[in-house]
């Protein structure tokens, strides 16, 4: 009996099991949905499926760099106890190798691999959150010691990779929203002005001042506001006496991203 994609989809939705295992179960049972579910239960996969609706608030992030490529992986789980275990770390390494071998469009297959080979053994709901390959001139990543916070810097060719890694460390701590102040839209600035105006109006010392005076004060604060959320303008956490752009070079970084579990 030919198994249709609709049947596989239905079984997957009913059990939470990967498509490959669902199709195999349907083939073995000639398309009988209930028997296929029983087959999955016999294999122990249904046990993992029952965990599919549990919250995954823990996990880990892994970044591997190779010249101008960065491979980024994060997998969530239910408990910190599992996230710091050797078995979880081993799985992270295996799935990272799978990403490197099969590239970023293999995320669904990688999740099925986890569902079939790891979820039952580790006993928790395991979900891939980040599964990507970033390419650039120089790619440098940093993962914080807790494994739950990381950042990636992509810089121009010739940029010192160790310096870029230190900026990635800065990103995990300072959490900038933009690369430079030029990227901040007028809409964001106006929203901040409106918010600051309301704050001042509710302040006992400032609330009695005319609105035009308050607006002038707020206008003067916008430069600081922009610098606080722009990576290049932020004070470098490793050496606060200089800005990030003074440490790495104003035109060195092309992009950055911060990751968290």
pLDDT at res. 59? 96
Q: Domains in the chain: how many in total?
A: 3
Final residue before a domain boundary, out of 123, 144, 173: 173
Q: Are residues 141 and 225 in the same domain?
A: no
Q: Are residues 79 and 166 in the same domain?
A: yes
Q: Tens of pLDDT along 152-196?
A: 999 999 999 999 999 999 999 999 999 999 999 999 999 999 989
**Domain extent at residue 35:** 5-49
Q: Are residues 238 and 185 in the same domain?
A: yes
253 in a domain, yes or no? no
Q: Are residues 122 and 228 in the same domain?
A: no
Smallest CA-to-CA distance from 142 within 119, 169, 161 is with 169
Q: Are residues 89 and 43 in the same domain?
A: no
- How many other CB atoms sit within 10 Å of the CB of residue 95? 23
Q: Tens of pLDDT along 50-98?
A: 555 556 689 999 999 998 999 999 999 999 999 999 999 999 999 999 9
The dihedral formed by the CA atoms of 174, 179, 183 and 186, expressed in degrees to the nearest 10? 10
Q: Are residues 162 and 80 in the same domain?
A: yes
Token duo for residue 100: 């490197």
pLDDT at res. 247? 98
Q: Are residues 111 and 127 in the same domain?
A: yes
Give buried/exposed letters for 55-73 (b at 16+ CB in 10 A, else e).
Answer: ebebbbbbbbbeeeebbbb
Residue 26's H or E segment, with its range, is: helix 19-28
């Amino acid at each position: 009996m030919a198994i249709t994609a609709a049947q596989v989809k239905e079984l997957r939705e009913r059990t939470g099991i990967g498509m490959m295992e669902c199709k195999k179960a349907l083939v073995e049972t000639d398309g009988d949905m209930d028997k296929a579910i029983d087959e999955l239960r016999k294999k122990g996969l249904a046990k993992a499926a029952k965990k599919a609706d549990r919250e995954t608030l823990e996990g880990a992030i892994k970044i591997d760099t190779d010249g101008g490529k960065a491979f980024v992986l994060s997998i969530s789980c239910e408990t910190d106890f599992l996230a710091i275990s050797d078995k979880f770390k081993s799985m992270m390494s295996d799935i990272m190798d799978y990403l490197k071998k099969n590239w970023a469009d293999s995320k669904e297959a990688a999740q099925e691999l986890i569902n079939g080979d790891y979820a039952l053994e580790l006993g928790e709901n395991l979900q891939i959150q980040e599964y990507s390959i970033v390419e650039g001139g120089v790619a440098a990543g940093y993962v914080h010691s807790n494994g739950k916070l990381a950042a990636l810097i992509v810089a121009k060719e010739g940029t010192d990779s160790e310096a870029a890694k230190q900026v990635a460390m800065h990103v995990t701590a300072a959490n900038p929203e933009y690369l430079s102040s030029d990227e901040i839209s007028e809409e964001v600035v106006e929203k901040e002005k409106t918010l600051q105006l309301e704050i001042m109006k509710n302040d006992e010392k400032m609330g009695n001042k005319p609105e035009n005076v308050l607006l002038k004060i707020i206008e003067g604060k916008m430069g600081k506001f922009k610098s606080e959320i722009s990576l290049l303008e932020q004070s470098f956490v490793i050496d606060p006496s200089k800005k990030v752009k003074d440490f790495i070079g104003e035109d060195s970084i092309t992009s950055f991203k911060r990751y968290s579990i």
